[in-house]
Amino acid sequence: MKTQICIIGGGPSGLLLSQLLHLKGIDNVLLEKHTRDYVLARIRAGVLEHGFARLMREAGCGERMDREGEVHDGVFISHDGRLDRIDLHKYSGGSSVIVYGQTEVTRDLYDARDRMNGKVIHEADDVAPHDLGSDKPYVTYNKGGASHRVDCEYIIGADGFHGVSRKSIPAGVLREYERVYPFGWLGVLSQTKPVSPELIYAKHKNGFALCSLRSQVLSRYYIQVPLTDTVENWSDDAFWAELKNRLPADVAARLQTGPSIEKSIAPLRSYVAEPMRYGRLFLAGDAAHIFPPTGARGLNSAASDIYYLYHAMVDHYHKRDDAGLDGYSEKALARVWKAQRFSWWMTTMLHRFPDNSPYEDRLQDTELAYLLSSDAAKSAMAENYVGLPF
Ligand code: FAD
Ligand code: DHB
């Protein structure tokens, strides 16, 4: 098979780029390791920046998001038995976020790819990029017992943190920066009315908790747990009891509980790989960087990579201008690092760090006290939470 661009990975990054390029007449083939049902069963992010939403609309995929997504103008921070609200709209100079699940984003993108007869190949095994340093790269994969080859001009590595793309960059070229946090998030999805119309980020001596939502009948809650815990350690009853424990009493009293329809533990990690380009291979999304989920940066940073890459490819194919491709890594990384800083800051301020000294605990309390007492600090948080421009 021959195409202009071969995209590895059918998560939100790969699908969004595939859809945007196809709309501009740029031929592409997308290879995904798993089935569509498997990809859609993963419960992940829930908060979208407006920059992401604009890109979804440009891709012709914004209709359901605009109908069913909720615009949120603020978030709550709970601490010491009380709730404080950060007015995102006021402190960001008029912006907000959209609550619409990654599962729905992905479903809308797959539906759009179907409508356009996009070339999406599922259950592509042993995907391997080749000849990245040449101007004739290609990708091989196996499917249904046969081996296949895609000849292309560029390869996009949008295959997540565990994908093959980043690993095909020679070790001497790749620089990796990482922080692994000594805890994870236990997440529960339940068909219950959300406890709060806006998200609650909770700091508590037992650890962090987050009350989020997917709709007015679907709640998503998280609690910080040690990395040694497993899902089997946490019955639904134990989860609800600990979540309530970490919330102010009046909030806990109105929390509706119910059976979990999904329960999983995600470790927290900060990670950046540089550069995001090697020869004809461009990395995007989780293939290049991981964020601890606290600031809701993961999916949104994937979207900014796709924005830069999409415009760079359009300039290359329509205007013979390679400045976007040449500057991609530097430009994408500049925004990625600011999002890293923000997610590290929010994670550090709100979680319990078991090895902290009493001095560090007091500084952590003071960081939150300062945020809640300073308009300048609230503005800094709000402009990052709604998303820096791209
Ligand atoms: P992915 O969604 O990982 O997609 C990559 C795709 O590539 C997958 O479909 C995978 O099957 C495929 N693939 C992998 N290897 C290969 C291969 N060798 N060949 C072909 N295909 C391959 N972000 C937030 O903002 N908030 C959250 O609450 C949040 N929760 C998360 C919870 C978990 C458990 C995880 C793992 C991530 C979470 N994130 C969250 C991050 C967010 O979901 C990601 O940033 C987002 O999914 C990135 O999209 P992506 O398309 O770059 O990567
Ligand atoms: C969700 C996850 C986050 O990490 C976050 O900061 C906000 C919301 C969620 O899954 O709903």
Instruction: Tell me the pLDDT tens digit for each residue of 81-131.
Output: 999 999 999 999 999 999 999 999 999 999 999 999 999 999 999 999 999
Range of the domain at 229: 181-268+353-385
Work out the end-to-end distance of the chain between its first and last CA atoms, rounded to an integer number of angstroms: 34
Q: Please count the helices (runs of H) and the strands (runs of E) in the chain.
A: 12, 20
E strand or H helix that includes residue 30: strand 28-31
Report yes or no on 79 lying in a domain: no
Q: Is the ipTM of this complex over 0.90?
A: yes
Q: Do 228 and 332 reside in the same domain of the chain?
A: no
Instruction: Tell me the pLDDT tens digit for each residue of 174-231.
Output: 999 999 999 999 999 999 999 999 999 999 999 999 999 999 999 999 999 999 999 9
Q: Do 186 and 261 reside in the same domain of the chain?
A: yes
Quick one: pLDDT band at residue 247, thresholds 50, 70, 90?
very high
Ligand 1 binding pocket mutation candidate from 35, 159, 164, 213 (most atoms within 8 A of CB): 159
What is residue 235's predicted lDDT score, i.e. its pLDDT? 98
Q: Do 253 and 115 reside in the same domain of the chain?
A: no
Number of the ligand 2 atom closest to the C-alpha atom of 201: 6
Q: Do 239 and 125 reside in the same domain of the chain?
A: no
- Tell me 314's DSSP state: H
Q: In what order do the strands lie in the sheet with 209-215?
A: 82-87, 74-79, 200-202, 209-215, 218-225, 175-190, 260-274, 289-290
Report yes or no on 135 lying in a domain: yes
| Number of domains observed in the structure of the chain | 2
Look at ligand 2, atom 9, and give the residue with the nearest C-alpha.
46
Distance separating alpha carbons of residues 288 and 277, to the nearest angstrom: 10
Query: pTM for this structure?
Result: 0.97
Which residues share a beta bridge with 146? 143
CB 7 within 8 A of CB 118: no
CATH number for 377: 3.30.9.10
Distance separating alpha carbons of residues 369 and 33, to the nearest angstrom: 46
What is residue 172's predicted lDDT score, i.e. its pLDDT? 94
Report yes or no on 91 lying in a domain: no
Which residues share a beta bridge with 212? 220
Quick one: pLDDT band at residue 3, thresholds 50, 70, 90?
very high
Distance 283 CA to ligand 2 centre (A): 24
- Ligand nearest to the backbone CA of 302: 1
Q: Do 142 and 203 reside in the same domain of the chain?
A: no
Ligand 1 binding residues, C-beta < 6 A: 8-14, 31-34, 39, 44-46, 102, 124, 127, 158-160, 162-164, 266, 285-286, 293, 296-299, 302
Report yes or no on 87 lying in a domain: no
- Looking at every residue in the chain, the average pLDDT score rounds to 97
Tell me if residue 303 falls in helix, strand or coil.
Answer: helix
CATH number for 343: 3.50.50.60
Query: Is the peptide bond prior to 267 cis by the omega test (within 30 degrees of 0)?
Result: no
Q: Do 199 and 112 reside in the same domain of the chain?
A: no
Ligand 1 binding pocket mutation candidate from 20, 35, 43, 102 (most atoms within 8 A of CB): 102
Taking residues 260-265, report their average pLDDT.
96
Q: What are the tokens at 13?
A: 């990054």
